[in-house]
Amino acid sequence: MKKRLMNNIGLKVLAFFMAVMSWFIVVNIDDPVTTQTYYSIPVSVINEDVLTKANQTYRIVDDTQTVSVTVSAKRSVLDKIKNDDISAIADMKELTLNTQIPIKIVINGFEGDYKEAYSAPRNLLVKLEEYETKKFPIVPTTTGTVRDGHALGEIKAVPERISIMGPESIIEKISRVEAEVSVSGLSADTLVQSQLVLYDGENNVIDQSLLANNLGGEGVAVSVQVLNVKNVPLVFDESEIQTAEGYSLTDVTYEPREIQVYAKKDILDKTNKIEIPAEALRTSELTKKTEKVVDITEYLPEDLKLADENAGSIVVTISVEKDGTKSYDISLGSIAVNDLNDGLKLEYETADVVEIQIRGPQDILETYDPKENVSINLAEFKEAGKYTVPVKVKVPEGCALEKQVSVNIILVEK
C-alpha cells in the first residue's frame, strides 16, 4: 500500500498544486494589496515652449502646484516608496480649455510594481497670460557694519539694471528690485555676490519661480567701497566776530573740537584740520555770551564725508565781557547750599552753568576764584515746589557784581 502511494504520479501533481495554492493564499494574507497617500508632491511642467512660441506664459492657480498622490500596491512595495520617488508631471501639450493640464504620476524605480497611482487634484490649473519683459534698476542694500576705523563708501549693483521676463500680472506688481549684501568686517573695497529680491508696492516679497532674467550665470553682485576714518580738529576763523562798543571778545569755544571724517587713504593722510571760514561766525554788536549752531557740512572738502552724518552741527559759544569786567562760568555743583530743610531734597531744573560778571581792577579779577564764593540760601523755602533763587556772590574788595544772577530749583520731599 505504501509503495503504491509513493509511486502515484497523480497524487504527486495534486500535492504540488495544493502547495502552490497554499503559498498564494499565505502571501496574499501576509502582503495584501492596499493604498497609501503621499503628500506635498511638486508638479513639474514640461513642454513649456508650446506657450513661449506664442509669446504666452502661464501661472499656476488655486494652489495646485503641489498635489497628494495615492498609490495602490502591495504593502511590501508601499513600504519602500518615498516621496522623492514620485514624479507628478503636467505636459503643456495636453492643455485643455486653456485652463487645465492632466497630471501624470510616475514612480521612479517601481515601474510595474504598483497597480495604480493618481493625484488629487487630477489636473494642474493654470491661467494663460501674455509674456512681458520690463527693465528695472537694481537697488543695492547692505546689512552689518564695516571694521572699526573704516566707513562704508559708495555701493553699486553690478549690473545696475536688469530685464525681467514673465507673466504680465506678476511683472506689473514689481515695485523695486534689491540686491542685499552683508558688509560686516570689511576693511577694503570688495565685490560681493548677492541674490535678487523683488518687492511689490506693499513691500511684500514676490515669488520668482515663474520669472526669468538676463543675468545669466554670473548673477548679480554689489560693489562695496570701504573708506578709512580719521579724527580731524576743527579750526574756526574768528575775524568777523564784532562786539558792541565798550565790550570785548574774551573766548570762543565749541563742541566737539574735532570730527570724524572718512575718505580714501591718500586724501586722509593729507588732511590735518578742517578750516571753517569767518562767515560761519559773522556777528555784530555783541553785548553778552552768545551761542551759534554751525552746520559744517557745507565747509567740508569735496572728497571728505562725515563718518556720522548727524554730527555736522557744532555748538559754538562766543563769550563777551564789558570793558572793565570779567565773566566766570560757575557749575551748579560749585554753588554752596545753605539752610536746606531736612525733609526736602534739592534738584536743579537745568544742568546749565551760571555766568556771573564782576566789574573791577583787571589784576584783581584775573586772580579771583568764584568757586568758593557763590551760594544760595533756602531758609525761607519750607515746602516742595519750583522756585527761582538768587545766587549770592562774594566779590573782592573794590569790585562789584555787574548784575544779579539766579537759579531755578526744584525741592522734592525725601
Q: What are the tens digits of pLDDT across the range 290-348?
A: 999 999 999 998 888 888 888 899 999 999 888 888 888 899 989 999 999 999 999 99
Its pTM stands at: 0.48
Cα 87 from Cα 20, distance rounded (Å): 37
| Contact of 101 with 140, CB cutoff 8 Å | no
The set of cell numbers assigned to 261 is: 571724517
Residue 380 pLDDT level (bands cut at 50, 70, 90) = very high
Q: How far is CA 385 from CA 18, 375, 408, 410, in A?
A: 112, 20, 11, 6
Please report, to the nearest 10 degrees, the dihedral formed by the alpha carbons of residues 122, 128, 132, 138 taken in order. Answer: -30
Output the pLDDT for position 5. 47
The set of cell numbers assigned to 280 is: 560761519
Other C-beta atoms closer than 10 Å to the C-beta of 162 total 19
Please report, to the nearest 10 degrees, the dihedral formed by the alpha carbons of residues 341, 344, 349, 352 taken in order. Answer: 60
Cα 174 from Cα 163, distance rounded (Å): 12
| Contact of 185 with 146, CB cutoff 8 Å | yes
Residue 128, helix vs strand vs coil: strand
pLDDT-above-90 percentage for the chain: 43
The reply to whether omega before 390 is within 30° of 0 (cis) is no
**Residue range 172-189, pLDDT digits in tens:** 999 999 999 999 999 888
| Contact of 291 with 251, CB cutoff 8 Å | no
The set of cell numbers assigned to 176 is: 523695486
